[in-house]
């Protein structure tokens, strides 16, 4: 069984104990080590900047034409931290417990407590960088509430918190580029991970402009490429976001953990047509002042302004009076879906209404949410100042990812995984405003210690990128590309991706069943066979070829979809966002099975994937039935 290097000390002392006793690399020797960083979102950019500041030789790669275009820039609502500036009872312990409980007791206790501890340092660090967090009239940092908490601990910059945090990390990154400790390689895609003597010591990248395959050697690889939510085709993720970097590392031996834990966000702009390629998030912060409702009579076709208050069902406030509209995302999403299935709402959507607070203080609403209101109007043509928003759940984030130990290292020595690409902190459901917290904690505050602890145990020998291991990896990559180009079928990669997304959304989405999951596996297998017989990839391997890029990602999605579905089928319980219809309480809530499934499920790549388990040992909290009523 896999063991993690967690110090055998009380939970609040474990991270300090680790830092006090981990091995170090001398400042004089750090420049002899090369670190390869994949991704320039919050986790990747902060890691590269921090390691460059320490003196390591860092090479950082991104898909986009600039690190600033990483998908972290799209995060809207905020970042959590246990500062207790509102004096409303918050603490590191309460943030830890809210996160563990929000994840339905399916996360590793030590990692989550460390995240809560570091949260306070993140805010101080970002303020020092100049991140323009919102402030109260007197100049103090402002807070607002997010789902699954009864305190106000979320720091924000209007509806563009991710953008401002990423610009802070980007500034730190470019400072190191100017100093010469970091090199940035834009418009590169990871095609393979190179193992030398069982350790991650190199990568094969494809230059997306020239089509050339490039080799890079390093003493460690940091994967911070984000999650795989776009496997569902329609999601709130950027279209360029994909699973390929994670999947290629998985096929080299990095175990995949809890891949079926996929978060559905309740407040997204509904699907508008069959030709739509992505969905747009409306920040969870809107639930602070917006009230979610449907007409009490199913099929009511009147305009929302014509439905009086006594004819409305504010269902989250009715069902969950303690948390109201700020219940966790998985609960809110399932409740919305169930009501729409019963014929309530307007089509496949419900209302998010601000009229009550607009009547009290419209300038305050404009100040807090103005850019989000503008975005909504541009997309829908409806003015949320005059009529309620229409919202419906959509795929937003994945809690599953590559397995990592306490030091964020995968089952491949030397491969570290940060941010959404790993599984570590959110269990079966992520609380809002915690993704930014995790990404920056991993990059700024954790990896500098844990990477040094690893590198101190290996010699800084030159990595030979002309070795047999690199030759073999590049040849395999060339064969994969040639296979995609040789099919010459009649269907575009997008057609297969769209069909896969429909299968997953219908049968491996918000609600799952044994019958549906088995049917999905058969459909995915048939679709994969059809893909390799009928996909058509135009162009060649040389130069810019976005059809080739897309086809490679869809091929990876088809393989990942099978493991995702197997994981959902094997976990015979409901927990967080993983809701099996056979396992629910009489009032429709998730029914966990702690005796059989209080563990992390790990999947090892093979012709028949092998499932193993990491038991979850709770010493400081007692797993209980989540109650937000």
- Residue 567 and residue 485 in one domain: yes
The average pLDDT across 416-437 equals 97
pLDDT value for 61: 98
With a cut of 90, say whether residue 5 has pLDDT above it.
Answer: no
As a whole number, the mean pLDDT across the chain is 97
With a cut of 70, say whether residue 52 has pLDDT above it.
Answer: yes
In a domain, 63, yes or no: no
Query: At a CB cut-off of 8 Å and minimum separation 6, what does 2 contact?
Result: 403, 405, 411, 602, 612, 614
Instruction: Label residue 344 exposed, middle or buried (CB < 10 Å: 0-12, 13-18, 19+).
Output: buried
pLDDT value for 121: 98
In a domain, 77, yes or no: no
Q: Please give the angle made by the CA atoms of 27, 129 and 364, to the nearest 5 degrees.
A: 160
536 is catalytic: no
Domain that holds residue 318: 265-395
pLDDT, tens digit (0-9, with 9 covering 90-100), for 126-164: 999 999 999 999 999 999 999 999 999 999 998 999 999
How crowded is residue 73: how many other Cβ atoms within 10 Å of its Cβ? 20
CA distance 487 to 557: 18
Which of 395, 420, 441 is the last residue before a domain boundary?
Answer: 395
Q: CA-CA distances (angstroms) from residue 573 to 98, 327, 447, 557, 592?
A: 21, 21, 34, 25, 5
What CATH number does residue 358 fall under?
Answer: 3.90.700.10
Is the CB of residue 590 less than 8 Å from the CB of residue 104? Answer: yes
With a cut of 70, say whether residue 359 has pLDDT above it.
Answer: yes
pLDDT, tens digit (0-9, with 9 covering 90-100), for 298-328: 999 999 999 999 999 999 999 999 999 999 9
Closest CA to 614 of 597, 595, 598, 599: 599
- Residue 271 and residue 391 in one domain: yes
Is the CB of residue 617 less than 8 Å from the CB of residue 110? Answer: no
SS3 190: strand
CA distance 204 to 217: 9
pLDDT value for 94: 98
pLDDT value for 1: 40
- If pLDDT is split at 50, 70 and 90, which confidence band does 274 have? confident
Six token digits for residue 272: 């508008």
How crowded is residue 491: how many other Cβ atoms within 10 Å of its Cβ? 15
With a cut of 70, say whether residue 4 has pLDDT above it.
Answer: no
242-276 burial code (b ≥16 CB/10 A, e <16): bbbbbbbbbebbbbbbbbbbbbbbbbbbbeeeeee
Is the CB of residue 1 less than 8 Å from the CB of residue 403? Answer: no
Give the largest CA-CA distance in the chain. 74
Six token digits for residue 564: 């995702």
Which of 395, 418, 447 is the last residue before a domain boundary?
Answer: 395
In a domain, 439, yes or no: no
pLDDT, tens digit (0-9, with 9 covering 90-100), for 280-303: 999 999 999 999 999 999 999 999
CA 153 to chain centre: 20
Number of domains, the chain: 2
Query: At a CB cut-off of 8 Å and minimum separation 6, what does 17 contact?
Result: 7, 9
Q: What are residue 401's phi and psi, to 5 degrees?
A: 170, -170
pLDDT, tens digit (0-9, with 9 covering 90-100), for 152-209: 999 999 899 999 999 999 999 999 999 999 999 999 999 999 999 999 999 999 999 9
pLDDT, tens digit (0-9, with 9 covering 90-100), for 363-393: 999 999 999 999 999 999 999 999 999 999 9
- If pLDDT is split at 50, 70 and 90, which confidence band does 506 have? very high
In a domain, 422, yes or no: no
In a domain, 374, yes or no: yes
What CATH number does residue 480 fall under?
Answer: 1.20.58.100
In a domain, 128, yes or no: no
The active-site residue out of 30, 106, 144, 329 is: 329
Work out the percent of the chain whose per-residue pLDDT is above 70: 99
In a domain, 119, yes or no: no
How crowded is residue 83: how many other Cβ atoms within 10 Å of its Cβ? 18
Closest CA to 111 of 5, 226, 20, 1: 5
- Residue 493 and residue 586 in one domain: yes
- If pLDDT is split at 50, 70 and 90, which confidence band does 3 have? low
Which of 395, 423, 456 is the last residue before a domain boundary?
Answer: 395
Q: What are residue 296's phi and psi, to 5 degrees?
A: -65, -25
CA distance 7 to 380: 52
The average pLDDT across 491-515 equals 98
Q: What are residue 367's phi and psi, to 5 degrees?
A: -65, -40
- If pLDDT is split at 50, 70 and 90, which confidence band does 414 have? very high
Q: What is the edge-to-edge ordering of all strands in the sheet holding 220-223?
A: 182-185, 57-61, 34-38, 220-223, 415-417
With a cut of 90, say whether residue 611 has pLDDT above it.
Answer: yes
CA distance 502 to 232: 7
Q: What is the edge-to-edge ordering of all strands in the sheet holding 389-398?
A: 262-268, 389-398, 350-353, 291-295, 312-313
Q: Please give the angle made by the CA atoms of 580, 586 and 587, to the nearest 5 degrees.
A: 90
Give, rounded to a whole angstrom, the gap between the first and last alpha carbons of the chain.
38
In a domain, 73, yes or no: no
The average pLDDT across 104-119 equals 98
With a cut of 70, say whether residue 2 has pLDDT above it.
Answer: no
What is the signed CA dihedral for 403, 406, 408, 412, rounded to 10 degrees? -60
């Amino acid at each position: 069984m896999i063991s993690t290097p967690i110090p055998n000390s009380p939970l609040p002392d474990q991270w300090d104990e680790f830092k006090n006793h981990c091995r170090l690399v001398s400042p004089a020797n750090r420049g002899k080590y090369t670190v390869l960083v994949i991704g320039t979102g919050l986790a990747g950019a902060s890691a590269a900047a921090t390691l460059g500041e320490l003196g390591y030789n860092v090479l950082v790669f991104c898909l986009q034409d600039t690190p600033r275009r990483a998908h972290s820039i799209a995060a809207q609502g905020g970042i959590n931290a246990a500062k207790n500036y509102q004096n409303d009872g918050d603490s590191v312990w309460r943030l830890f417990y809210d996160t563990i409980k929000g994840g339905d007791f399916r996360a590793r206790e030590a990692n989550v407590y460390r995240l809560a501890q570091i949260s306070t340092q993140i805010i101080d660090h970002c303020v020092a960088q100049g991140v323009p967090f919102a402030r109260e009239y007197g100049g103090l940092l402002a807070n607002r509430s997010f789902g699954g908490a009864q305190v106000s601990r979320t720091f924000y910059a209007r509806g563009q918190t991710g953008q401002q945090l990423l610009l802070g990390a980007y500034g730190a990154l470019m400072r190191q580029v100017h100093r010469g400790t970091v090199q940035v390689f834009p418009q590169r895609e990871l095609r393979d991970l190179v193992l030398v003597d069982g350790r991650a010591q190199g990568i094969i990248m494809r230059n997306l402009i020239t089509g050339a395959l490039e080799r890079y050697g390093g003493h460690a690889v940091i994967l911070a490429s984000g999650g795989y939510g776009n496997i569902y085709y329609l999601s709130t993720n950027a279209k360029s976001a994909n699973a390929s970097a994670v999947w290629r590392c998985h096929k080299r031996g990095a175990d995949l953990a809890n891949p079926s834990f996929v978060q559905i966000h309740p407040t997204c702009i509904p699907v508008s047509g069959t030709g739509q390629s992505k969905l747009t998030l409306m920040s969870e912060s809107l639930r602070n002042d917006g009230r979610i409702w449907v007409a009490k009579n199913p099929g009511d076709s009147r305009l929302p302004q014509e439905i009086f208050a006594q004819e409305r069902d504010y269902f989250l406030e009715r069902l969950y009076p303690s948390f109201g509209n700020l219940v966790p995302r998985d609960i809110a999403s399932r409740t919305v879906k169930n009501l729409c299935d019963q014929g309530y709402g307007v089509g496949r959507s419900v209302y998010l209404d601000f009229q009550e607070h607009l009547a009290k203080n419209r300038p305050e609403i404009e100040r807090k949410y103005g850019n989000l209101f503008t975005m909504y109007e541009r997309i829908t043509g409806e003015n949320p100042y005059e009529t309620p928003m229409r919202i419906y759940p959509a795929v937003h984030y994945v809690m599953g990812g590559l397995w990592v130990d306490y030091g964020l290292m995968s089952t491949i020595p030397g491969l570290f995984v940060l941010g959404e690409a790993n599984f570590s902190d959110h269990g079966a459901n992520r609380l809002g405003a915690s993704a930014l917290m995790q990404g920056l904690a991993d990059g700024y505050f954790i990896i500098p210690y844990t990477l040094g602890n690893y590198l101190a145990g290996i010699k800084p020998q030159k990595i030979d990128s002309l070795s047999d291991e690199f030759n073999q990896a590049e040849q395999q990559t060339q064969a994969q590309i040639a296979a995609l180009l040789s099919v010459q079928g009649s269907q575009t990669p997008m057609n297969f991706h769209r069909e896969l997304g429909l299968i997953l959304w219908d049968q491996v989405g918000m609600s799952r069943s044994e019958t549906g999951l088995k049917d999905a596996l058969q459909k995915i297998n048939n679709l994969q066979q059809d893909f390799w017989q009928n996909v058509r990839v135009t162009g060649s391997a040389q130069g810019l070829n976005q059809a080739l890029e897309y086809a490679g990602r869809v091929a990876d999605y088809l393989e990942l979809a099978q493991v995702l579905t197997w994981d959902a089928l094997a976990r015979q319980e409901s927990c967080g966002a993983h809701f099996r219809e056979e396992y629910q309480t009489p009032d429709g809530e998730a029914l966990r099975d702690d005796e059989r499934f209080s563990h992390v499920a790990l999947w090892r790549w093979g012709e028949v994937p092998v499932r193993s388990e990491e038991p979850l040992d709770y010493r400081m909290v007692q797993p209980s039935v989540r109650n937000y009523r």
